Amino acid sequence: MALWFRRVGQLLAVGVVLAATLWPFYQVGQQQLTRAEQARIDAQPGVSRTRYQPRLDQLQQTADFSTLASSEMAGRRPGQPGSELARQFLQRRFTELGLIPAGTDGFTQRYQTDGQSDGVNFVGKINGTDPQLPAIVLTAHYDHVGVHHNRVYPGADDNASGVAAILALAAYFQTHPPRHSLIFAAVDHEEQGMHGSKQLFAGKLLDPQQLALNVNLDMLSRDTKAQLFAVGTYQHPALLPLLQSLQQDSLVALKFGHDRPAAVAGRVQDWSDASDHGIFAKEGVPFVYFGVPDHPDYHQPTDTFERVDLEFYHKVSDTILSALLLLDQADMSTLRQKNN
Ligand SMILES: [Zn+2]
């Protein structure tokens, strides 16, 4: 017993010495990978034009954005009064947009979560002109962290911006019919375990086999470098040639990145499951996530509508519309081929 104990002690000591010796090499390796990944991102094209003919209803989109980010909606946390106002608003807007109800009760899918307030997703559809094609699902979470210690966290960029964008895109596609059916989902509880997007599958509203792609929008309205990231081209390399055409003639600096594991990219943040698209990925559904880098107001009471960059936001939204139009024309069966 004593000998056995001493052997384990010796082995542990050797392990600690080995780890302490190798750790600096690992650190240096990670730093080199990070620098290489940052250089790869920086080398991608920046903004190449500033003028464009708006295709989305910018006035309506701005109004929807400011309403969702208002102090009345108070950060839209499930169980708080602001969330109820946001739900009434979404019910009204989905109805006004004339979407086909695709929830379990009209547009809504109500669900319960253990130990948390009940959630409500809003789901509407536009039928594609080719009924043989699988659907594209646009998601944006409408919840945020709400009121904490009497302070309101309005969640303007995160994610009133994404929800107002899917409403504007729905209005566009109502008058410009897509080939693929489009499903628009404003989901709840992203900030508390992503229960909303999980429920889309758990409640059998969505069948992974019937879906071509998830396009998730989360944080679209501000970046000091005017960068918009498209995340998911690492997992789905067939997206690259499609979306690269947008890089060449771009209103914003569209960048591909934040989707590589640390072994490939080093310490650059991997956003592959940072928002609802991660739930689609787990279900085997290809995804592309559009979002801006974190900023000092991220998850702060200062993430207000007053601090967003509306000009940039509308350019981002127009870029996402261009991406959707390209994706809608593409053969998306190739997206399920994996990167090796
Ligand atoms: Zn978010």
Q: Could you name the CATH architecture of 58-338? A: 3-Layer(aba) Sandwich (3.40)
Query: What local confidence, expressed as pLDDT, does residue 114 receive?
Result: 85
Query: What local confidence, expressed as pLDDT, does residue 337 receive?
Result: 63
- Report how far ligand 1's centroid is from the alpha carbon of 69 (Å): 13
Q: What is the residue-averaged pLDDT of the chain?
A: 94
- Report how far ligand 1's centroid is from the alpha carbon of 190 (Å): 7
Query: What local confidence, expressed as pLDDT, does residue 4 receive?
Result: 66
Query: What local confidence, expressed as pLDDT, does residue 296 receive?
Result: 95
Cβ atoms of 332 and 286 within 8 Å: the answer is: yes
Distance (Å) of CA 249 to CA 182, 224, 299 = 26, 20, 32
pLDDT (tens digit, 9 = 90+) per residue, 218-228?
999 999 999 99
For the residues 191-201, what does the mean pLDDT come to? 96
- Report how far ligand 1's centroid is from the alpha carbon of 132 (Å): 33
Angle formed by the axes of helices 81-96 and 58-68, to 10°? 160
- Report how far ligand 1's centroid is from the alpha carbon of 275 (Å): 7
Query: What local confidence, expressed as pLDDT, does residue 339 receive?
Result: 47
- Report how far ligand 1's centroid is from the alpha carbon of 159 (Å): 5
Q: In the Cβ-directed half-sphere of 203, how many Cα atoms lie within 13 Å? A: 21
Domain boundaries, the chain: 1-43, 58-338
Neighbours of ion ligand 1 (CB under 5 A): 158-159, 218
Q: Is 43 exposed, middle or buried (0-12, 13-18, 19+ CB in 10 A)?
A: exposed
For the residues 33-50, what does the mean pLDDT come to? 94
- Report how far ligand 1's centroid is from the alpha carbon of 84 (Å): 19
Q: In the Cβ-directed half-sphere of 130, how many Cα atoms lie within 13 Å? A: 12
pLDDT (tens digit, 9 = 90+) per residue, 115-153?
889 999 999 999 999 999 999 999 999 999 999 999 999
- Report how far ligand 1's centroid is from the alpha carbon of 292 (Å): 11
For the residues 209-220, what does the mean pLDDT come to? 97
